[in-house]
Every structure is written in structure tokens, then in C-alpha cells.
Amino acid sequence: MAPMSKVTVPALRSHKVRNGKEPLVMITAYDAPGGRVAEEAQVDMVLVGDSLAMVVLGYDDTLQVSVEDIAHHTGAVARGGSGFLLVADLPWMSYHLSAEDTVRNAAKLIRAGAHAVKLEGGRKRVPMIEALVAAEMPVMGHLGLTPQSIHAMGGFKVQARESEAALQLVAEAKALEHAGCFSIVLEGVPDEVARMVTDAIGVPTIGIGAGRHCDGQVLVWHDVLGIEDRVSPKFVRRYADLKSAAVDAVATYASDVRSGAFPDASESYHLSADQAEALSLYGLAAD
Ligand code: KIV
């Protein structure tokens, strides 16, 4: 069983900056070292996102991962760290067919170690959200730029730029809150629209590319650490340059191996003097 997080769903449900609370900190992670770092850095929530497909598995979109993939990585994060609320993404087609299918798939993620699941979309997801909540599985919603709708949206594009779409987004957020979501990710929407949504609902909004007025922020692990350097969305702030550090380290290792500088005597195991002496009788040279 996943250890109880000190950040709990009932405590999070009413966590609003407008009530004097600090913004919530969420980051994605995909493996045990990530879980350990997140624990030591004292983040509030960790998301095993379906961004797994892109940043870890090398696909061009998030549609390529299965429930089993997310469960595998959720288990790794849960074994690596605790103290945060662990949320696992329900991947594309794991919650689109029926409420029953959704509950079965979500249960695999909870059994793997997640405390809650996240799914994308508005009002049309309400029956699935209600079924999950009835089965005691906390649900985080995800609105705005929803990467699993990449083909329907015509690409990764900022959403709700027009006033009508902004009002629609507020209505969708209210529907998710009413269905039982304890929190809602707002991705890729104008700052002003995220503020409207945040003001309109009683559960916390977690922004990514949604400006400063959300009740918390989430970023992707590889972006925060500068491991992903091929694309740099406007909303990303890099807090390290681990890609360059990694390339330098591996290139130095390669050069040391090729020159014979690695390993040296201190990095090697040695026979005791008498065993080396015994072998010298057979003509084997001691170091
Ligand atoms: O999969 C993911 O990493 C996400 C975040 C971007 C919110 O859904």
C-alpha cells in the first residue's frame, strides 16, 4: 500500500490562495530517483504525467502510453519518495469508453501507489469522475490545452483566447468541481482566463502556462532541470542545466577511458601482498 501522504486530498480541496494559503507546488516525476528528489525538495504534489511518452519514452505526443506504462512508473516514484500527494495520469483511451472501464483502469494506478488520478476534459467526463469518486478514488481535472486532444485541437495551442471560450472554460471548471474533482490543472490558457476560473471555483487550480493567478503551479521535471533542451515553451523556467552537465560528464568519462586515465589504482580492487606473491610464482605480474 502507498504510504499516506502528509499532503491529503481533504486538506487540498479548499486550498485557495485567496484564503491566505501559499501556492501549491507540483512537479512531474517518472522514477524512483525523481521521487527521492521531490521528497527532499518538499514539493506538495508529484504527477506521473502522460508526458512520460514524450520526455522519457521519446514519442512526439502523449497518446502513446498505456495504463500499464503509467502504473509501472507510478510504482517507481512511490518507492522512491513519500511525503507528497502522488497523482497519476489516466492515459488516452483509459477513461473514454465507460465509467466501469475508467474505474478499473484508475484502480491499477492507485494499486501501483498513486493517491489520486488525473484526467483531461470538461463536462463530458462528469460520469467518469462521479464513478471514480464513488469508488473512493480522488480525481484531479485538467482543462485548457489538453495534450490528449492534440489532433482535435490541431496542435499544442493556447486555448480560451476568445471571451466566449473563456466563459465556456469557467463553466467546464464548475462542472468538474461539482462532479467531485479536488483540484483542476489549467494548461495553456491566458493569465486573465486562469484568474477567472480560479476565482469562480472553490477547489485549487494548478497552472502550467496559465499565469500567476492559479492556486499552484506544475512543471515537467525535464523542463525544470534543463534535461529537455530541444523545445523551450514560453512558460518554462529552467532551474538547472543538467543536459549540459550530463554531456560534459559523459564526454569526460569517454575521454578518460580512451586515454587510460580511468580507472586508476584507487578505483581498482587489489590482491593482498601474499596472494599477489603466490600468483607471481605462476608468472602472473602483480600491479
Ligand atoms: O503529463 C503531464 O506532464 C501533465 C502536466 C503537463 C500537467 O499533464
* Residue-wise pLDDT tens digits, 250-264: 999 999 999 999 999
Listed residue (164, 174, 183, 170) closest to 144, CA to CA: 170
Centre of ligand 1 from the C-alpha of residue 211, in Å: 16
Residue 1: pLDDT band with limits 50, 70, 90: low
Asked whether the predicted pLDDT for residue 209 surpasses 80, the reply is: yes
Looking at the domain assignment, is residue 102 inside a domain? yes
Assign 73 to helix, strand or coil.
Answer: helix
Residue 284: pLDDT band with limits 50, 70, 90: low
Centre of ligand 1 from the C-alpha of residue 49, in Å: 5
Mean pLDDT, the chain, whole residue set: 96
Same domain, 64 and 182: yes
Asked whether the predicted pLDDT for residue 110 surpasses 90, the reply is: yes
Mean pLDDT of 240-250: 98
Closest-CA residue, ligand 1 atom 8, reads 49
For 39-84, the pLDDT digits (tens) are 999 999 999 999 999 999 999 999 999 999 999 999 999 999 999 9
Same domain, 186 and 207: yes
Q: What residues are in contact with ligand 1 under a 6 Å CB criterion? A: 28, 47, 49-51, 89, 185, 187, 208, 218, 220
CATH of the domain at 45: 3.20.20.60
Which pLDDT belongs to residue 287?
55
Same domain, 215 and 255: no
Looking at the domain assignment, is residue 196 inside a domain? yes
Which pLDDT belongs to residue 3?
63
Listed residue (150, 205, 212, 127) closest to 173, CA to CA: 205
Q: What percentage of the chain reaches a pLDDT higher than 90?
A: 93
Which pLDDT belongs to residue 283?
75
Same domain, 131 and 100: yes
Q: Which residue would you say has higher pLDDT here, 229 or 245? A: 245
User: To test ligand 1's pocket by mutation, which of 208, 217, 221, 231 has the most ligand atoms within 8 angstroms of CB?
Assistant: 208
Asked whether the predicted pLDDT for residue 2 surpasses 90, the reply is: no
End-to-end CA distance of the chain: 51
Same domain, 167 and 198: yes
Same domain, 266 and 212: no
Same domain, 249 and 236: no
Same domain, 116 and 136: yes
Which domain covers residue 276, as residue numbers?
A: 245-280
Same domain, 263 and 130: no
Looking at the domain assignment, is residue 285 inside a domain? no
Altogether, the residues listed in the chain come to a count of 287
Which atom of ligand 1 is closest in space to residue 51's alpha carbon?
1
Same domain, 229 and 254: no
Same domain, 102 and 203: yes
Looking at the domain assignment, is residue 287 inside a domain? no
In 10 A of CB 97, how many CB atoms? 11
Q: Whole-model pTM?
A: 0.95
Closest-CA residue, ligand 1 atom 5, reads 49
Same domain, 29 and 171: yes
Looking at the domain assignment, is residue 178 inside a domain? yes
Looking at the domain assignment, is residue 2 inside a domain? no
Mean pLDDT of 119-128: 98
Q: Which positions are catalytic?
A: 187
Centre of ligand 1 from the C-alpha of residue 147, in Å: 8
Which atom of ligand 1 is closest in space to residue 52's alpha carbon?
1
Long-range contacts of 91-100 (CB under 8 A, 24+ apart): 91/50, 91/62, 91/65, 91/66, 91/67, 91/148, 92/50, 92/62, 92/63, 92/65, 92/148, 94/66, 94/67, 95/119, 95/125, 95/128, 99/127, 99/128, 99/130, 99/131, 100/131
Which pLDDT belongs to residue 282?
76
Closest-CA residue, ligand 1 atom 1, reads 49
Strands (E) in the chain, as ranges, are: 24-28, 45-48, 85-89, 116-118, 139-144, 183-187, 205-208, 216-219
Which atom of ligand 1 is closest in space to residue 55's alpha carbon?
3
Rounded Cα distance between 242 and 136, Å, is: 39
What is the domain count for the chain? 2
